[in-house]
Amino acid sequence: MIRAGIVGGTGYTGVELLRILALHPEVDVAVVTSRTDAGLRVDSLYPGLRGYINLAFSLPDLETLAQCDVVFFATPNGTAMMMAEQLLAHGVKVIDLSADFRLKDAQEWSRWYGMEHACPDLLADAVYGLPEVNREMIKHANLVACPGCYPTAVQLGFLPLLENGLLDVTCLIADVKSGVSGAGRKAEIATLMSETGESFKAYAVSGHRHLPEITQGLELLAGTPVDLTFVPHLTPMIRGIHATLYGRTKASLDDIQALYEQRYASEMFVDVLPQGSHPDTRNVRGSNMCQMSIHQPQGAQTLVVLSVIDNLVKGAAGQAVQAMNLIFGLQEDMGLKILALYP
């Protein structure tokens, strides 16, 4: 059995990891940490885990975590980088769900996250954990940087076109909507139900932290600089990411549909819907699936790709477990055969 530790077990992504790993046939969750709730039983805070997780939250302790085979960081930005180097030195695999190791440029990271990076030398070694792009590298990784939720939906949506040089990379647009759980489990006026209910807004239009991550990924796919406009929105729902992606192409819709179906034919967590479909966030809620469809309005050169995921699963915890399965040579979908919740 794989001994797994979770640092930051009380946030939404931490609890989602617990939900998935509790039923994983090859994983024993050995440590769950929380500075706020140390000493409290996990199932007293989350009764849905009664009978599955028989642990109490503990303070993060290097010696205890070093006994694990893999440690997941479901923590705020700036936490994983304080412990990753020591854990790696003990032979522990590190899977970080925060943004600490996603960017390869330490100065760029500091500019967007407002602090100096504690271990910039590790950035080159971190493998970006998008299996549909870096599957073979993840298999041999010691440190995995899980993609953000917005970047996952956007990169998967644009991927086949950029790989094949079929988009004008000077005018890409990502218009993306997120449920409020994407902001994390904290008390903020902006995410109160009375503030978000019956409302809809864009935010961080001048620059969101996920912009450099998305741009970095798209440029690696395209092999050239790209000009991306990324506008995130907050919607009055709990889970879900809906990315509406725009680009200009001279290829026909039939050819692009065939390209997407071929590119993702062997990807168990990407589902290309038939032409004319409109993916809905509720149809992936609770699952590790990305559903997408391609449109070419009025047959013009503007292509529209619709890409939806659950931000807490494929956009976070599910993708992290996917990476863990690859690292330990397990079936990639082990523990992740989760059907969407409906309604």
- Residues known to be catalytic: 149
Give CA–CA dist 173/167, Å, rounded.
11
The contacts of residue 279 (CB under 8 Å, 6+ apart) are: 242, 273, 291, 292, 293, 306, 307, 308
* Whether 70 contacts 144, CB under 8 Å: no
* 1: amino acid identity, one letter: M
The contacts of residue 97 (CB under 8 Å, 6+ apart) are: 13, 17, 72, 73, 74, 75, 146, 316, 317, 320
Give CA–CA dist 59/62, Å, rounded.
10
Considering only CA atoms, which of 150, 108, 151, 106 is closest in space to residue 128? Answer: 151
**Eight-state DSSP code of residue 190:** G
Residue 307, judged by CB atoms within 10 A of its CB (0-12, 13-18, 19+), counts as buried
Cα-Cα-Cα-Cα torsion 27, 30, 34, 38, nearest 10 degrees, comes to 150
The count of other CB atoms within 10 Å of the CB of residue 270 is 22
Give CA–CA dist 238/162, Å, rounded.
31
Pairing of strands 302-309, 290-295: antiparallel
Pairing of strands 228-234, 172-178: parallel
Tell me how many degrees the CA angle 297-300-304 measures, rounded to the nearest 5: 45
The count of other CB atoms within 10 Å of the CB of residue 223 is 10
